[in-house]
């Protein structure tokens, strides 16, 4: 197999699955059941199966569906990690994707072929991750933040209907800093991705209008 | 080999090499010498050689050095194209990079293992490109524009010493639209990437101050 690796690198996908809960931005870690790095925490990852996958992104979706039973969250490519030393099995390529899961779907996770799963703070994982996954997590965070700093709203992290305050809190959790409310509301005014609903959330404060993402919205 | 492809996809790199000359933003095309797509125009591309390459980016640099004798231009990853149908040889992965070449190095190109090379307008190539290279070119253009729309200066496309007018022209060529001179100069004031020189370019107008990129600048 080592000889084959010199001709054919190992090809796989890694996924940084993010959600935002009341404690901030979280990323999903799995405890690996198998070598290499058995019993180490890692991003969900898997080997490309050309007979099953139509693309690397399809492989990422299959890995998520298989390992933690998450179907069809929003998936976007970050970049590809490659080289002779990042995997003890030999020359390897791993294309990293990030995926976004709404808070109300967090509890649906089950595990399969991993020893354990946990959501940890994305900005202070406190675990030494397998392979180059720490570096990958940082790259996924940069990619996510760069989109939110730009003109894109992370609506895939919100439930189907949400208030503008909830949206601001999700953006703040991603960026790691507070946003000025009136500047944020002005930015939202120009967005064609938000659809106003004639529905209101009741709470201790005055009722807050609900919004949803426009049909076909992609991050 | 077809059977092997079902286990081991073909892994390669493609490079969109850009420069800016007086006619605008150009991209380098090569006429392929070998099948598949022999005698079709394409982006420079090559197969990963794990025994030679330390990473996919190293493979991209090797391909450029080998096919068109360009050494060490600035190279950045765009994204990865993958699937069972994009290459007639079977399931394949191609990681796309863009590379930037200063105008004064354009003439250094030689060709090797390709029938011909040409610089064409990046925004209207008028050629049907091999594989999915037309789609790749559009992705490379979007990535380049998005960085220049952001806060990054494309200094790698300029000669070692340049005027601010030359810098503005390069940005305009990439973005495909005119920029307001005073707004552009204000933006440059905040940049830590530019170093003022005590040198001036003489011309028909009043002498223009020359600048260079700061040591260690990366795009």
CA A124 to chain CA mean position, Å: 16
Spatial neighbors of A160 by CB under 8 A, at least 6 apart, are: A102, A212
For A3, list phi and psi in degrees, rounded to 5: -65, -40
pLDDT of residue B5: 61
Contact B56, B136 (CB under 8 A): no
Optimal mutation site among B1, B4, B6, B9, interface A, most CBs of chain A within 10 A: B9
pLDDT band with cut points at 50, 70 and 90 for residue B108: low
pLDDT band with cut points at 50, 70 and 90 for residue B209: very high
Spatial neighbors of A49 by CB under 8 A, at least 6 apart, are: A59, A62
Closest C-alpha to B27, from B111, B99, B130: B99
pLDDT band with cut points at 50, 70 and 90 for residue A111: low
pLDDT of residue B1: 47
pLDDT in tens, A127-155: 899 999 999 999 999 999 998 987 789 99
Encoded tokens for A164: 């503008």
Strands A194-201 and A114-121: unpaired
Range in A145-149, A161-165, B3-7 the model is least confident about: B3-7
Contacts of B6 in chain A (CB under 8 A): 50-51
pLDDT in tens, A71-98: 767 899 999 999 999 999 999 999 999 9
Closest C-alpha to B129, from B33, B30, B24: B30
Contact at CB, A80 and B84, closer than 8 angstroms: no
Alpha-carbon span B146 to B47, nearest angstrom: 28
Strands B194-201 and B208-213: antiparallel
CB atoms within 10 A of CB A123: 15
Give the CATH architecture of domain A155-213: Orthogonal Bundle (1.10)
Alpha-carbon span A20 to A121, nearest angstrom: 9
Task: Give the right CATH number for A2-149 from 3.20.20.140, 3.40.50.720, 3.90.1150.10, 3.90.79.10.
Answer: 3.90.79.10
Angle at A26 between CA A21 and CA A31, to 5 degrees: 130
Domain ranges, ordered by start, for chain A: 2-149, 155-213
Contact B184, B178 (CB under 8 A): no
What's the ipTM?
A: 0.87
Contacts of B9 in chain A (CB under 8 A): 11, 48, 50
**For range B153-171, the mean pLDDT:** 94
């Amino acid at each position: 197999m080592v000889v084959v690796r010199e001709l054919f690198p190992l090809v796989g996908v890694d996924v940084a699955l993010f959600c935002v809960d009341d404690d901030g931005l979280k990323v999903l870690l799995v405890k690996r059941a198998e070598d290499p790095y058995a019993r180490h925490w890692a991003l969900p990852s898997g080997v490309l199966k050309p007979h099953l996958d139509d693309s690397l992104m399809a492989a990422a979706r299959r890995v998520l569906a298989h390992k933690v039973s998450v179907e069809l969250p929003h998936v976007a490519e970050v970049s590809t990690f490659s080289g002779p030393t990042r995997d003890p099995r030999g020359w390897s390529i791993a294309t990293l994707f990030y995926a976004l899961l709404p808070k109300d779907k967090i509890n649906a996770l089950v595990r399969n072929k991993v020893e354990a799963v946990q959501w940890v703070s994305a900005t202070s994982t406190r675990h030494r991750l397998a392979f180059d996954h720490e570096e990958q997590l940082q790259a996924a965070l940069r990619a996510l933040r760069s989109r939110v700093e730009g003109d894109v709203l992370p609506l895939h992290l919100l439930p189907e209907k949400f208030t503008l305050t909830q949206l601001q809190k999700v953006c703040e959790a991603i960026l790691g800093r507070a946003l000025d409310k009136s500047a944020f509301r002005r930015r939202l005014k120009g967005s064609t991705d938000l659809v106003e609903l004639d529905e209101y959330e009741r709470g201790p404060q005055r009722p807050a209008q609900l919004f949803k993402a426009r049909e076909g919205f992609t991050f």
